[in-house]
Structures are given as structure tokens and as C-alpha cells.
Amino acid sequence: MKDLGTMLLREDAFSEIVIGNTAVVRAMVESGVRSVTSYPGSPTPEMADAIGAIPSGLRPFRFEFSTNEKVATELAFGSALNGHLSVVFFKSVGLNVAADSFVQLPLLDIPGGLVVVLGDDPGANSSQNEQDNRHYAQLSYMPLFEPATAGEAYGMFKAAAGLAAARRMAVILRLTTHVCHAKERVSFAAYHPVPHDRTPRFDPDRENYIPLAASVFPMKRRALERLAEVAADPVALATNLLVDNGNRRRGVIVAGGAFLSLLDALELLPGIADSPDILKLGLVHPLPRLDALAFLVAHDEVKVLEDLDPILETGLKALAYDAGLTTKILGKQNIDEYMGEYTPVKVRDILAATWPDLFPVVRPVALPATAEARPPQLCPGCGHRSAFYAVKKALRPDDITVADIGCHTLGSLPPYRMGTVLLSMGHSTSTASGLSLFNDTRRVLCFMGDSTFFHAGLPGIVNAVYNAHRVLLVVMENGTTAMTGHQEHPGTGRNFNGEAQKLSVRAALEGLGVANIREVDAYKQVELTGMVREALDEPGFKVIIARHPCMLKFTRSARRKAGASWKARYIKVDQSVCTKNHECVERFGCPSFQLQEGGVVEVNRDLCIGDGSCRQTCPSVALVEDLGGRI
């Protein structure tokens, strides 16, 4: 695909191989979306990449990365109140941040309509848990669609957007990691650009937008009534699929990516006559009662396949009980069925355990010896590594360190062991403050990245200042939102659409009343070690800003700017003076250093970036610039 932006704006009908995230953006274009907001988080950032490929002057909607998911949700809601079809997207745990406002959305009349695109993560591919956000749909009385493929993501977004606009409500499109990232040839409809009516249409005289005690019950009644209407809506029901294999004995009800795994598993059956009938639900909440009842009535046994929690299973069993059905509904049978992604192998094993006669005996395949597990690593040259190395030198064995969300979370791994507790973005200062209570012997230090600082870190800092907690916060400022793909944040001086006011971390801290602030380049290890030693023994709340640019982003940018004149730099080990102390391998831990036979340390040039942060760590001064490095 040579020009993604041009493809997304094509006005004729066409087909193209795209990932699910790209297909959703095309659906936004075709649906007439006018406002899109987000906070970056896997598996959804590629939607922003696709949006960014459209030249800003031609983009049919406005997009921004907001400071966090709650703000992004509120911004999209406000735009939709004025009559503009709006979208907000973020990753699974981002909904926890947005929840306080999110759960109010179904109570309100939303003139423009709002689609909430969630990137859930069964298997925890890039998340700290694998929470099932279908619970939030039930909690808030909000409809939820769940596609299985990139093509379905495109079609179901359009269905969700149509319902949201027509019924003046919020609707969820729940994607999962492999739906976001899997490729498929998708057939796109023609795009007919329509001029944007920018007239503000918010009318507080027409509707009540204050969900307080006196108005809660009529608002909740409307939410429940709209949910029931969606359950019978032809557009919503069209997202369901019946695969009739003529098997009235056995059936399977499934949704999302598990459907594709089911199809793969069924290919192993000895004959097509053995294949169970399948009801694949696109509308997951509310449960489409008529479709589900018809399927249950037609079969003796029905197996429910769903990633994570028994949402569909519970609803189907209640539905069957109320209807007095005798159909045997087979749900999750062990703890393993509650965890991990429903891959083809897992689905095959589940079906074989449920219906042993359905599958031939599966004999284990002898696998070759596997390589050693490769732990996640901070990038070569990362300022966080230099900071952790320096900070650790200042700590006592019983000092307590608290982690936060970001690249620096990897500091919890060997050899640093920095940050031994983690909850969520921005938690570190508050959790550290709690650990400091009733604690006169063990000093407490916490870490936080600059993106997290603006996302969710400020309230905990305010609380630490206000209540005079004795905690040292180290802000690891690398000038980007590195972990999710180098998106901008309020401290970078840019936003998604160009230049922006740059917010200073130090100025924000000073504005919050933090009086004890130090700043240092994270590469200046001796200076950082001294700062930490001093600060930990001082009273009250204090902050060290350990600053160094993300070297992955920095070197990529430098390489692009230099073009053909780019010269790679490397570090090498001077074996004539190396004493095999192994400080570089065992305590500094840059992955560029590799231990060979006989304790010899060598530098892997494919990893080394020649930044030199390692050189100050070697007690024998054996790390030197490799002047013979290739160009």
C-alpha cells in the first residue's frame, strides 16, 4: 500500500488488504465521523497512525491525543452533544481511567452519537491484566458489538455509528488484539463526502443533562428501553451470523476472534457431517434473545466459546431457564478456560474435552529444544537504564521502590530490581506515600515517566505535598510516550496536529507546591547517585527529574536527518585492560554486552548505538569508542 492516506479517502468502492485498526479508520471516514479522540495504548495506536497518514487539510474529522482516557471520553462526549458524530478509542485498562464519566453516557441524550472503540487484550499481550470490558457494557447499559476480523471491524463500526447517530446514544465496538492487528482483504464501500454542518446543537432546554437523584430513574429507564430496542434492531441483528451445518444435535455459540479459532479447529474433523452448527454473535450486549433462543431450541447441546469471562454463557443459561428449555448448555469447565486467548489449539482442546467423540486422538508432536526465554529489555542507550544503575548505588538493601506504567516498568527486572510494586498509571506517588506511613526505618522512592506524569500523576503528587508524605519521586523524563510508539504528550511542545504549548514538568511541580526539586541528565550517573543519597534523607516530599531523550526515537530521527551521511557509532571492549569484573553485564545490563566463553565480554554491534553511557560503569576503563565502526 503506497499511500495509506489516499486509500483512506478514496471515493470509489474498492478492496485492500489492511489490518483491523486501518479498516476502522476507513469506516470512520465513510460514516461521517467529525471528532475523534484517544489516549495511546496497544492494541489501538495504529488507528492514530492511519489517521496521521491523511493530510490534515483533507482529514474529514478532527483528531487529538488527549492527556488521558477520561479527558478523551469527555471531549468526544462534548463534541457529540453539539451534534457531531464522535469517536473515542483506547486500550482495555484505559476504560478504568475513563469509567467515572463513561458509565454516565447511556443515561444521557447524545445528539450526534458516540462510538467508544475498546482495544481489549485477551492473553495480556501488552497489558498488566486481561480484563473483560464486556462487564462495563452490562454495568452501564451500553450496547456492544464484537467483530472477529478486519472486515467485520469495518462493518460493525459502521453499524455502531449508525445506531449511535440514529438513537442519539453511545455504543461500544470491542476489538481484541488480533482483530486490531490481523490483516485481511476488506471490501470498502464508496465514500461520499458531505459538508460538515458546524452548527452547535446542544440544547439543555430539550433534555436534562444533570444526572442527579431526582432525574436518575427516568434516565435509567430510557437507557434500559434503548438497550431493549437495540436487541431487536435489524441493523444490530445483521451483525450475527448463522452457520448451518445441518447438525441439530450439537451447536456452538461464539463471538469475536474465537470464531476464527473455531473454524481452524473444525478443519481437523474427519468429516464435514460432524461439524456443529454455529451462531456467531456480532451483537454481544444486549444478548439478541430471539436469535439465541431459536438456536438453543434447535439443538440438544450447545457449547459456548468466549475469551475470558462467562458473559455469554451466563446470559444464555438465564435465557434458557426463563424459557423452560431443556437444551444442555456447556460453558467453561475449568480455570484454564477463563484465562488466555482462545487460539485454534486451545479451542480444539476445549472441544475435544467437551465432545471426545468429535475429534480424533491428538498425539503430542515432539518439539525441538527451545531457546532460552528472552526477557524484555530496555533499549540500548536508554536513559532509564543509566538512571536505575545510578539510583541503585544510593539505596540501602531495605529501601522500598515503587514502579509505574511505562518503559521504566522494566526496571523491576534483573539486574536493577527497581520498582517492586505496580498498580496502574500514576499510582506510584500515592502507593509510595502509603508505604511511608508508620515507617521510620525504610526509605521510600518511586518512579514515574513524563507522559504518565501528565496522564494521571498529578493528583498523587498534590496529595503527597498536601499531606507532607516523606517520599522521593524520580520523574524519568524522556520527552515522549515511548512505550506505545513515541506519541507526543503535553511536555513535548507538539501535539498530533503540530506545534503546541510545551508544559514544563518542573513548572507543574512548582505550581503544585513542590519546594524540593532537583534536575539532572540521567547519563550523569555520579551526580544522580549523589542527589538520591541526599534527597532520601531529607524530610517531606521531594522530586528528582532525571532527564534524557528516548534514544530509540533520538537515533531514528538523527538517522533520517543525516541521510547518506549517517555514521554509526559503537563501543568496544579493550580486552588488554578488561579484568572481567562483569559490571557491564551483571549490574549495568545493556543487552549489547554479551558474555562469551571464559568470561570474555564482547559488544554486539547489531545492538550497540555507541551512546557511551556504559563507559562510566567500567572499573577497569575497558569500554572505549570503536573507531573502526562501520558506516
Q: Which residue type occupies 173?
A: L
Give the helix/strand (H/E) hosting 546.
strand 542-547
Q: Which amino acid is at 408?
A: H
State the cell numbers at 483: 512505550
Q: How much is the pLDDT for 398? A: 94
C-alpha cell at 466: 498536601
**Residue 488, all three cell numbers:** 507526543
How much is the pLDDT for 510?
95
**Cα distance between residue 64 and residue 89, in whole Å:** 11
Q: How much is the pLDDT for 538?
A: 95
- Three-class SS of 283-308: EEECCCHHHHHHHHHCCCEEEEECCC
- Distance, first Cα to last Cα, the chain: 31
Comparing CA positions, the residue from 96, 134, 132 lying closest to residue 281 is 134
Angle in degrees, 0-180, between the axes of helices 525-536 and 383-393, rounded to the nearest 10? 50
Sign of CA dihedral 414, 420, 421, 426: negative
How, if at all, do strands 250-255 and 301-305 pair? parallel
Separation between Cα atoms, residue 134 and residue 138, nearest integer Å: 7
Give pLDDT, residue 2. 53
- Per-residue confidence (pLDDT) for residue 392, from 0 to 100: 94
**43 contacts 23 by C-beta, under 8 angstroms:** no
Residues 535/573, Cβ–Cβ less than 8 Å: no
Q: What is the DSSP letter of 597?
A: G
> Could you give the C-alpha distances from 260 to 23, 112, 125, in angstroms and in order?
18, 34, 18
Ramachandran area for residue 224 (φ above 0: left; ψ -120 to 50: alpha; else beta): alpha
Q: What's the pTM value of the predicted model, to 2 decimals?
A: 0.86
Is the Cβ–Cβ distance between 505 and 475 less than 8 Å?
yes
**What's residue 203's pLDDT?**
86
At residue 270, the pLDDT reads 66
Q: Are 147 and 156 a contacting pair, CB within 8 Å?
A: yes
Q: Do 195 and 83 meet the contact criterion of CB atoms below 8 Å apart?
A: no
Please give the domain boundaries of the chain with CATH numbers for all domains: 4-236 (3.40.50.970), 240-354 (3.40.50.920), 383-555 (3.40.50.970), 567-625 (3.30.70.20)
- The H-or-E segment that residue 461 falls in is helix 458-466
Pairing of strands 601-603, 593-595: antiparallel
Low-confidence ranges of the chain (pLDDT < 70): 1-2, 270-273, 360-369, 628-631
Q: Which three cell numbers stand for residue 611?
A: 551512546
| Residue among 147, 74, 129 nearest 104 (CA) | 74
Find the largest Cα–Cα distance for the chain: 84
Q: What is the pLDDT of residue 629?
A: 47
**Residue 395 · residue 484 · CB < 8 Å:** no
